[in-house]
Amino acid sequence: MSGDGANNDGPLVTLIRDEVLAKGITINGLPIMLNRPNLMNVNVEGLDIYYRDCVIGGPGAFVIPIKEREKVSEAIRNKLVPEVAGRTVAPQPIAAVSNATRISC
């Protein structure tokens, strides 16, 4: 899954995520954080947190944020290679140690 903002159309993202996870599918995230924040999107600085808390899930799920245009190809490759190869990515540290959602889904 990739995108440059929060879900703004259709069912709640968490409902769809949970349906997909129930089918045994892992969802990884590639938040594109190149735009300036605006009133229609989650603050771009927090988009990676939104993806961690609201979008990704399943065994070995991971997020690779894109914060620089020059890193787009590298980030896409770093996301796709482990997915295609069936490998898991090393766990990523999460800023807050809590099961509570840090951002509104």
49-85 pLDDT per residue, tens: 999 999 999 998 999 999 998 999 999 998 988 888 8
- Is 15 or 4 the better-scoring residue by pLDDT? 15
Confidence of residue 98 (pLDDT cuts 50, 70, 90): low
**Residue 87 has what pLDDT?**
72
Please answer whether residues 29 and 51 qualify as being in contact, where contact means their C-beta atoms are separated by less than 8 angstroms: yes
